[in-house]
Each structure stands twice: as structure tokens, then as C-alpha cells.
Chains A and B, each alone.
Chain A
Amino acid sequence: MLIIKNLKASIENNEILNGIDLEVNAGEVHAIMGPNGSGKSTLASVLAGREEFEVTDGTIVFEGKDLMEMEPEERAKEGIFMAFQYPVEIPGVSTTNFLKTALNQIREYRGLQPLDAVSFLTHLREKMKLVEMDQSLLSRALNEGFSGGEKKRNEIFQMAVLEPKLSILDETDSGLDIDALKIVANGVNQLRSKDKAVIVVTHYQRLLNFIIPDFVHVLYQGKIVKSGTRELALELEEKGYDWIKEEYKSTLV
């Protein structure tokens, strides 16, 4: 589904991604872990198409198409979704209206008829249950005055509504208490399927107790320095990141 080769990206001439290779297939859940400043969130942003990052080398192919040629909204329409680390507030625009606009633009791109009000609301209600979204949040302005937990839950709710092929969760666990974390994880798990993939970007292994990954990659200094399975995450929890750093340094010598 997603093939990243030798991806290098920089911001204001500082190289942050330094040759990433990653392949994600349908049905898989990949966790990207790493210490602060290793480039995890940059990778997520580059995949989503944030402009301030300049891709200096490498290729990203999504479902056989060159992602680099696509605007952020095209990537979204092709089926890439990013749950933001810091969801944005849009005053005066209700979550319902926002999602209706988004969903219908995506449907139009795919040659589908827009959903009428009734089918759209039915669709919303069904997805609300997944993340235990409170109905009252839907009519409020998007993320405005939402608590940290509500915002993150709203991200997963949006993911459920828009039904992307590839979901990228950018530190969705940060700032969540354990109950909220469980709800978010539960939502993601219910959306897992054999034709969908998830990339979970996280600093802590905690979330991975609830969203069990198929693969774990450790990012350090803009490179994937170690890949493994869930056991790797557990090892990181136990030992921290220092041994990874040491191991990486020794390969450089």
C-alpha cells in the first residue's frame, strides 16, 4: 500500500529525515517509535503533505501513485488520514458541517454521489458509538473549547467517518488519561481491517498495549535504526532509548 524509499526531508535547511525506508501493506499496523526529536512527527507531516517540509530525496508511493505529486487534499481523497497531535480549532464551523463537507468532497473525487442529510446523519451516529462521542460535541464549533481528550477522540471519530485506507496517528496518546486512551485505542481497533493500514507514531509503548502493532520501527536521527515486532516496544519500555542510541553510534564507527 505504502512504499517509502530513501526519504530525506528538511525544514529551513535542517535535515530531519535522513533516508527512511518503509513498506506498509494492507491489514498491517506499524508503530513508529523513537526519542524526542528523532523525526517521528516530521515523517507523519511529510506523508500528509505539510508544505513547510521540503522533501530533498527519495520516493513515496501510495497505492501505486506518486504521493509527492499530490496536494494534501488529493492525498486525503486518495485515502490518507492523519490524526493530528494538536488538532486545530475552527470557530463557528460545527464538526458535523466540517465532516459533511470533507466526506462529500472525498466522495465526489471517487465519483460517488454526495450523501443526503439523512444518510449522512445515520453514518455519523453509527461512528459516534465507536469512540463514545457525545452527540453535543458534534454541533459545537470544531474543537473549540474541547478538552485535550475530546479533541483526540474527535480525531479518531473523524477517521471513522472518513474511512481512510491508511491512517497515521501522530502521538494520539499524548495528553490522554488511561480511560481516554482505552476509548481511542478501542476505536482504532474496531476500524482495523484487512484492507486498511495504520501507522501509529508514539513516544511511549503504553498505547501499544491497546493497539497491538504488527511491526515496530525505531526512528533515531531521521533514520529507522531498528525494526521488530511488538517485543521491541516492550524492550524499549523496559530499557529506554539509550541502548538504541549506543547501538546506532557503534554502527557509525
Chain B
Amino acid sequence: MTGAGPAETMSAQADDTRVKRRSGLDRLGAILAAIAAAGLAFQPFSLFRANRIVAAKPVGILSALPPLEAWLLVAVVVAACAVLLLRTPPALRLVVSALTLAVLAVAVGRSGMFLTPSSNTYARVAPGGAFWIVAFAFSIALADASVRLKMSPLARLALLAFTGGALWMLLWSGAWDSLSILREYTNRADVFWREARVHLLLAIGSLAGAAVVGIPLGILCFRVQPIRATLLNSLNILQTIPSMALFGLLIAPLAWVAAHVPGASAVGIAGIGIAPAFVALFAYSLLPMVSNTVAGLESVPPQVRDAARGMGMTARQRFFEVDMPLAFPVILTGIRIVLVQNLGLAVLAGLIGGGGFGTFVFQGISQTATDLVLLGALPTVALAFAAAIVLDALVEIANPTPNRSAAA
């Protein structure tokens, strides 16, 4: 018996916020609208460069597009800002934000075509501050609307698939071909897809390896107390070694293995390249896998385990029918952490010739070629972002008691 107190407190607070929401403007909407409007007014919509290396020349919105289209874009953004500014239903805000982002995406492609002199292959057009700021504001608005709608995991996945499809359409239709980042891409399309495959292989392959090794290790740690502290502590120390150094330190031992173990070089083990990157990512992935497996098994309520024993389940039955299903969401959370982390860390493989999107990032940095950096960084961010959304949705679907995910 907890009494009526807390419930009544909560309803009192809910009541207060509702009262506020009914009156006046949407506060977040007002901030976002102000950011978007200021961005559009004071920042260049596009950046024009005569060639890849020279400094960029900012181009305001009214000169970045044919006059009609420019005013149309301004009108769309202003109308969308008005929708954000007022207290409008979340569903409407979601649709308006998504549409505005789509219009913005098409407009930046149009600007590329408009600003690039015909038959000039050196000139580069890149999105400017206004584009990024307006896109940022409406992405936040989109996120806010989807949070307010309390979208189901499946709906979120559908939204992600839809966004991915729309992006694909834009790329495939050639609407963005005149943008500098796609110019970089066109110059190295083959390499791009090869590095993409390497990047995914590094991130997902090392995750798979860590899952195969880490989950049984976690189960062992949970069962045998003395091992737990030792193993978790050593994995913790492993994590403190900076990733760049770990990549480097693996070069020498792997070179030695390649030279001295028969057949090792035949399966691709070598001092430089993909092997040390793979091993380093694997090593970093172990800690989250092991500790989340332990945490998952620990989160099984003792009463549930006791009841299972009381009903006459064997140890094996208890493990597969009670422990594992209940621990699964937490283990899946571990997989989510590892995947997102690996997709990012795999960039460092580029530093030691291991391939992946990092190749473009570090080449770009050394050549001070922003577009090349973006060609490596943007797909990485997009992949990590998509992986997080997909796995968050899966964790939520796998979780029988929604409140437990917070504890995990």
C-alpha cells in the first residue's frame, strides 16, 4: 500500500505542464524557428570554390538559386517556422519538418547545378552554414515531434527506412551530383564502395567475434565469482589504452605471427592493414559484451529464479527458458553499444592502412580537402546513427518490461 500521495503529486505536475502547453507559443518551436530564421538570413546557403583546394566564396540564399526557387525556399522555411512556432499537433510538426528537410535537400542540389558553370569540372559547390543550420533546426523539430508522438519501435524503423529510401532516391536521381562531396565520390566510386565494405567488415565482424567469445565469458563470470573481478578489471584496463596506440601496438606481434605461423599470412594475417584493426576492435568490444551479459543475468529477479526452481525446472531449463530470455534485452543493449562504438572506431583503421572510411578522413585531413573528410565522416555518422536507431528499436521490442531498459 503506497497510498495516493505520489500518484496525486504526478498528476498535479502533469496538470501544471498541460496548463502551460495550452497557452501561448511552443517554447522549443520558438527557439528552433529563431535559429532557422537567423541561419537563413545571416549565413551563406552555398559555398563556391573555383577548385578543390582554394578558399570558399560564400553565396547567400538569394544568389544561390534562381530567384523564383530562392523565394519559394524562403517561403517554405518561413511557413514551416510558423508551424513550429504555434502549438500544433505533433503529427503535423513531424510531417512539416520532414517535408522541409526534403525541400532543403532538393534545393541544395539545385543550387549546385545553378552555381556550377556548365562544362566546368574544377568548380566546387558545397552546402553553406544556412543549409546546415536550417537542417539542424528541423532535424531537432523532427526528433521532438517523434518523441512527443511516442512512436512505437516499428514506426521508428519505418521512419528510418523511409528516410534512407529518400536519401537513396536523391543520390540515385543525380539531384546532388553537382555538389562537391559527390564530385569527390564520383572520382573514387570504386574505392568508396571497397572501403565501405571494409568498414562494415571491421565493425560487424569484430562485433560478431566479440559476441561469440564475450557472451560465454559473461556467463562464466556470472557463475564463477572469483573470475569476474579479475576478468572485468583486465578488460577495463584494456579499454584505457588509446585506440590509436592499440592499433599500432598490434602491428609488430601480428607481423611476427604472419612470418612465423604457417598459413597465417594465407588467411590474411599481416602486420599492417586490416588484421591489427580487426583485433583491436575485437579487444575493445569484449568489455561491453562481457559486462552486459553479467548485468543481464544479474537483472533476473531472484524470485523468478526461485519460482523456476520451485516448479521443478532443471538447471538447463532454467538457463534457457528463464535466465537467457530475461537477460537478452540487456545483452542486446551491449551489442548496440559495441556496434555504434565500432562503427566510429573503425575510422582509425585508416591511420594504419587498415582501410574503411577512415582512409578518406585522414587523406582529406592531410590534403586539407574538406570534401574528402566529409566523404569519410558523413557515411560513418549515418551508419552509426542508423545502427543506434535499429538496435534501440530491437532492444525495445525484445524488452518485455519497458521500465527495465532504463536500469540497463
- Asked if A and B are interacting partners, one says no
Residues of B bordering A, CB below 8 Å = none
